[in-house]
Amino acid sequence: MSEGHTEVTTGAPVSCAEECGVRDVQDRLGDKWTVHVVVELAPGPRRFRELQRLVTGISQRMLTLTLRRLERDGLVSRTVYPTTPPQVEYALTETGRSMTHLISRLIDWSLDHRAVIARSREEWDARTA
C-alpha cells in the first residue's frame, strides 16, 4: 500500500471469474442439457420435437428452458413459421457455432479418458468403502 492509500477494503477479493462474467458463461455451458442441445443443433436447424427426440432424457419443460436460455444468450435463434399449427425452428447463431469445435474437443477428450476415469472411480470407491 502506498502512503496515499486511504481506501478501506472489506471482505475477500473478487475473482475475475466473478467480476468479468466468466462464471455466468461457464454456468450456462456447464449445465446438464446445454452441450447436448448444441451438439444436436450443430448439423443445422431443428424443430422442437426433433430436438426432444434427439436429446435423450430431456423433458419438454427442460428443453424449453434450455432453448430460451440459449436464445437469451445469443447462442440460438428461434424462427416461427406462419403455418397452422405454427412451426418453430431452432438454429445455432454464429456465436453458437463458434463454440462447436470446443465442444467437439471436449467430447473427444471424454471418450479418450472415460475408461481411466471409470477405473479411478472404482479404485477410490474401493478405498473409501
pLDDT in tens, 22-50: 777 777 777 889 999 999 999 999 999 99
Class in CATH terms, 16-96: mainly alpha
pLDDT tens-place string over residues 47-97: 999 999 999 999 999 999 999 999 999 999 999 999 998 899 999 999 999
Q: Where are the domains of the chain?
A: 16-96, 99-129
- Give dist(CA 45, CA 74) in Å, integer: 15
pLDDT tens-place string over residues 87-128: 999 999 999 999 999 999 988 999 999 999 999 999 999 999
The H or E element that residue 118 is part of is helix 100-128
* Contacts of the segment 55-62: beta carbons below 8 A, 24+ positions apart: 58/33, 62/32, 62/33
User: What does DSSP say about strands 46-47 and 87-92: parallel, antiparallel, or unpaired?
Assistant: antiparallel
What's the distance, CA 33 to chain centroid? 7
Computed over its alpha carbons, how large is the radius of gyration of the chain?
21
